[in-house]
Structure 1
Amino acid sequence: MARFSKTDVPQFAVDVYQNEYLPDGGREVNAIVTVTATGGGTSGAQLAGAGRVPDAAVAVMVDCSGSMDYPPTKMRGAREATAAAVDTLRDGVHFAVIGGTHKATEVYPGAGRLAVADAETREQAKQALRKLTAGGGTAIGTWLRLAERLLSTADVGIRHGILLTDGRNEHESGDELRAALETCAGHFTCDARGVGTDWEVKEVTGIASALLGSADIVADPSGLAEDFTRMMETAMGKEVADVSLRLWTPVGAEVVFVKQVAPAVEELTARRTDASPRAGDYPTGSWGDESRDYHVCVRVPAAGVGQEMLAARAALVIPEDGGTVRTLAQGLVRAVWTDDLAASTSINAQVAHYTGQAELAQVIREGLDARKAGDDYGATAKLGRAVQLAGSLGNEDTAKLLAKVVDVVDVAAGTVRLKARVADADEMTLETRSTKTVRVKKSARKPAP
């Protein structure tokens, strides 16, 4: 459980964007819940400069399987990247480095413990990294289980992992990896990275998703150090963990779905844990100085024109000692029945935007799966729709990635041709980053009253 005082938790705010008007008998209410945390740090350096006391533990898991030697730049890049991450640790943070093959090895400090970061331990860790060599298989679940055991020894609020792999999880079953993820979920968050192009996108993104972290590709090992430094800076900026989005609904209402929609699409519906007969908690992980958007859909009892009700109460909560929780901020989702056709058929700009973003992520995945299966017709249709959506939503980064996989004929119509040859790195980058979203322009933002 996270430990904190009232002075070290960022200030949270909740804004609700919705069209609360429903037609006579209408039942489905959609809202975008924007959660903003301020007063936290955006990097470890800023926190240190503000005199904040570290309350974190980090485990870095480095793939040391035999394939990391092909080419040798991968192993060298991994050592340099991990050293850069260690250098980014602020004083007082607990940490460990794990070498991963078909087993998990404590590279530093060893003996089932964590080191405490200072000039001496950082240098010792970097010396230990120089001895890392490649050899053996890949069993990622064992790496994660060791990270969980080590991180659990620290009495800290933030527990985080960074995992690097270059290959498929070939030395344990899918069930074994899923069991490991279930064991680790809620105990620490984890960013996952694939280096090169021989790893499985769905494995790496699945690990990050299950452990509420980020996933990405680093196609060229020379980019690892910069990426690891950036990840560690973000981890060092987190100040509160175990934050949940709690949704309360009245009698007769039910939650249809909950998903994070910015900065990336992440389905949360199945992760609900009941807090009371009418309320459920959805995990959001660790927070620093940042903002995220969530799409909430609630089905309410049908009502007639002129009636109104509270459809849901959205609150950010964190656990306190004694089994209680503290509410950090909350917002209300309303339903009002009207016979004004214009009011009841209007789609809130936030809801429309993120509905499109979720569809964009879905059609990219479906299009790439169709392409891999040799279904050129299905791939062309899905990726054409993706091009159309990326253009209309202003998602320029995704549009650029799509242009490396298809030749774009007409953006507005979604007319494309599949490229005859596509680099593995380009296809994997598109798949890995398909869930990343862009936010609604500020001019279109207007919270519900």
Structure 2
Amino acid sequence: MANFSKSNVPQFSVDVYQNEFLPEGGREVNAIVTVTSTGGTLAGPTAPGSPGSGQGSGAAVVIMVDCSGSMDYPPTKMRNARDATAAAIDTLRDGTAFSVVAGTHVAKDIYPGNGALAVADPGTRAQAKEALRRLSAGGGTAIGTWLRLADRLLNSADAALNGSVIRHGILLTDGRNEHETPEDLRAALDACAGRFTCDARGVGTDWEVKEVTGIASALLGTADIVADPAGLAADFTHMMENAMGKEVADVSLRLWTPVGVEIGFVKQVAPRVEQLTDRRTEAGPRAGDCPTGSWGDESRDYHVCVRVPEAGIGQEMLAARVSLVLPDPSGGTPQTLSQGLVRAVWTDDMVASTSINPQVAHYSGQAELAQAIQQGLDARKSGNLDGATAKLGRAVQLAAASGNEDTAKLLAKVVDVVDEVAGTVRLKAKVAEADEMTLETRSTKTVRVKK
């Protein structure tokens, strides 16, 4: 494992889990790559001037609050949003650059209000919370404009902080993105991708799940529902604590493959399913980088699938080299933080070549579970009840088999489970909208392999 030089940044390790044995003529190699970062020192608020207080590797956060007219129905929603934003501001570490954006059919920087970022200290926190009191609901919803303003503000962070900057957004919406086209939002997401991460939250039940999850997915953040606005403050505090725990930004998963090896796919499979194959950018001969965003003390799992050339019994080869790399801010050679190897060995031992690695089997099931839920709910909405029953039944079966209890509980609010082992279910005649949206929003959350 390669060590990262700065003491206040975590060290990375890579572990590869696979069955490297292939039968004669076998070409597909699957591996689960577990990436773990440990040893960071940025837990909790720190005093100005102390390690991690914004010096060396600083943080910049923009909070985007929906202020469209629907936030006044009921009036408590806007009040809860203001309180939640205030709680998030209280969670900022001293030295963190930050801004608050009010989002309607236009985006307005309400604090500090000068097109730049404030630096968190007791005085600026108090000023920001005073600005929040003046927030009121009125207007439409054009989320792409909010994201583009956040990007401009976060881009100014280098002037406010010294060294590399972790850029993060928090976005709250309660409605559909009705005042710009889907193409406008997509263009904004494409423009912001790789420039900052963003957690997105839908409050109430009048927003579009695929819009909110699409924002989080494109910007490598988390998505969730807060059905009851009273829960916003706790959720915002938790999100900001996670953001403050990030210690190194712009880490990429680099996959190098020998001549003749084709990449099937690369996807994150824990803590949630996230397809990364189409985000790959070239990084030299036969190598490509997939973005992973910012890291603190945490562990994530990735599923790598490659196709190797056919070979004879007894032959072996390096199928892929997986590395964690960090770009050089000055444009030099990226730093390799750690790496692991994926192998292929051809054997005539049928037992060896046909056994499936437990990690690969588990996460293949978790990815299928997420897909089955999404397809089942789409079928239900379109009136295809037989298709919905089949897909959601399969989801119940997969959730039970993998021990994904949280997802199993959410499924039980949408279907009556007759036999979880067989996947036999009946669709419920009446389903609360919040329950269906919660299941859809959290469908990509996975559980790890039980040790």
Do the two structures share a fold, i.e. TM-score over 0.5?
yes
Residues 1:170 and 2:173 aligned together: no
The one-letter code of the counterpart of 1:137 is G
- Deviates further, 39-48 or 364-373: 39-48
Residues 47 and 431 (structure 1), Cα distance of their counterparts in 2 relative to 1, 3 Å cut: farther
2:238 alignment partner, SS class: helix
Tell me by how many angstroms 1:438 deviates: 0.2
What is the identity percentage for the equivalent residue pairs of Structure 1 and Structure 2?
Answer: 78
Tell me by how many angstroms 1:276 deviates: 1.2
Residues 1:412 and 2:421 aligned together: yes
1:269-305 CA-partner distances (Å, limit 9, x unpaired): 0000000121000000000000000000010000010
* Distance in structure 2 (CA, Å) of the matches to 1:49 and 1:369: 52
2:133 maps to which of 127, 130, 135: 130
Tell me by how many angstroms 1:44 deviates: 3.0
Residues 1:322 and 2:325 aligned together: no
Q: How does 1:272-291 map to 2 (within 5 A)?
A: 272-291=280-299
Residues 1:63 and 2:66 aligned together: yes
Tell me by how many angstroms 1:45 deviates: 3.2
2:445 alignment partner, SS class: coil
Q: How does 1:25-424 map to 2 (within 5 A)?
A: 25-41=25-41, 43-45=43-45, 51-54=51-54, 55-155=58-158, 156-320=164-328, 321-424=330-433
1:13 aligned residue: 13
* Distance in structure 2 (CA, Å) of the matches to 1:332 and 1:7: 27
* Distance in structure 1 (CA, Å) of the matches to 2:430 and 2:418: 17
CA RMSD in angstroms, aligned pairs only: 1.3
Unaligned runs of 5+ in 1: 443-449
* Distance in structure 2 (CA, Å) of the matches to 1:261 and 1:351: 10
1:157 alignment partner, SS class: strand
Residues 59 and 248 (structure 1), Cα distance of their counterparts in 2 relative to 1, 3 Å cut: same
Residues 48 and 418 (structure 1), Cα distance of their counterparts in 2 relative to 1, 3 Å cut: farther
The one-letter code of the counterpart of 2:16 is V
Tell me by how many angstroms 1:8 deviates: 3.2
1:192-246 CA-partner distances (Å, limit 9, x unpaired): 0000000000000000000000000000000000000000000000010000000
2:161 aligned residue: none
1:24 alignment partner, SS class: coil
Normalised by the length of structure 2, the TM-score is 0.96
Tell me by how many angstroms 1:111 deviates: 1.4
Normalised by the length of structure 1, the TM-score is 0.96
The one-letter code of the counterpart of 1:279 is A
* Distance in structure 2 (CA, Å) of the matches to 1:5 and 1:407: 54
Unaligned runs of 5+ in 2: 159-163
Residues 396 and 46 (structure 1), Cα distance of their counterparts in 2 relative to 1, 3 Å cut: farther
Spell out structure 1 runs of 4+ moving beyond 6 A: 46-50
The one-letter code of the counterpart of 1:23 is P
How many residue pairs get aligned? The number is: 439
1:174-196 CA-partner distances (Å, limit 9, x unpaired): 00000000111111000000000
1:445 aligned residue: none
1:244 alignment partner, SS class: strand
Whether the aligned pair in 1 keeps the contact of 2:8 and 2:42 (CA below 8 Å) is no
Whether the aligned pair in 1 keeps the contact of 2:375 and 2:388 (CA below 8 Å) is yes
